[in-house]
Amino acid sequence: TSMANEPSGILVPAYVYPGSGAWDVLQHAGAAMSPAGLIVIANPDNGPGYDDASQSYLPPDPNYQAAIQALQNQCTAVVGYVYDCYGNTNPPTAANCPRPTDIAADIARWFGIYPIDGIFIDQVLDTDSARAADLINEVRSHRGDAVVVLNPGRIPSIDFMTATDPAIVVIQEQPFAQYVTSPWMGQRPR
């Protein structure tokens, strides 16, 4: 198969607060694209919102609820942000690690308080396909047709790509030159 036949779209990390029209450009882009051609990542607070001081989840934010619904009205998919600390292998001194909540609880919280289409899982350990598959199943246990996006932060192996299909996998965050010289990406038909 050639890359020309593969579905494509744009994934946008909307890590700004959706008040005062900050997400209006995303609505305009979503309206101009084919249905589901734009996927927006919502991220209130490295997840659905958690207060470390009280050790409890924050209530749903009405501005996020409205912005998510407005994007979906333009046939744009919105996914909620969670992170996995590379399968909890990041050292405790790494930013955001260890996680203050269980990742499954964050996924459930997203689906419980926001009208999302799926989950974006950042910091996925690309050498643990079984864990990635479990995370995909966790997301799909809340919504069978959920969009699942995995981000290992580097180009994963073809085995990881196969094991996590049909999830979307972010395969590149580096300059294009690194992409075309990767072990298997440069081999793909263009």
The torsion of the CA quartet 94, 100, 105, 107, rounded to 10 degrees, works out to -40
In whole angstroms, give the CA distance from residue 172 to residue 85. Answer: 18
Asked if 82 and 119 count as a contact pair (C-beta separation under 8 A), the reply is yes
Give dist(CA 63, CA 86) in Å, integer: 30
Alpha carbon of residue 92 to chain centroid: 23
* Residue 72 near residue 78, CB atoms below 8 Å: yes
Higher pLDDT, 8 or 133: 133
pLDDT at 8: 67
Q: Please, what is the average pLDDT of the chain?
A: 86
Structure tokens given for 15:
């890590």
CA dihedral 83, 166, 152, 81 (to 10 degrees): -20
pLDDT band with cut points at 50, 70 and 90 for residue 37: confident
Separation CA 102–CA 172 (nearest Å):
27
Q: Phi and psi at residue 49, in whole multiples of 5°?
A: 110, 115
- Per-residue pLDDT of 50-78, as tens digits, reads 998 999 999 999 999 999 999 999 889 99
What's the confidence (pLDDT) of residue 167?
92
- Which structure tokens are listed for 105? 């609880």
pLDDT over 50 at 19, yes or no? yes
pLDDT at 103: 96
Q: Which residue has the higher pLDDT, 154 or 40?
A: 40
Q: What is the mean pLDDT of residues 177-186?
A: 60
Query: Omega before 166 cis (within 30°)?
Result: yes
Residue 177's pLDDT is what? 67
Average the pLDDT over 109-117 and give the result: 97
**CA 169, 25, 123: angle at the middle one, nearest 5?**
25
Q: How far is CA 55 from CA 27, 51, 100, 189, in A?
A: 34, 6, 8, 50
What number is the average pLDDT over the span 100-121? 96
Task: In whole angstroms, give the CA distance from residue 87 to residue 127.
Answer: 9
**pTM exceeds cut of 0.85:** yes
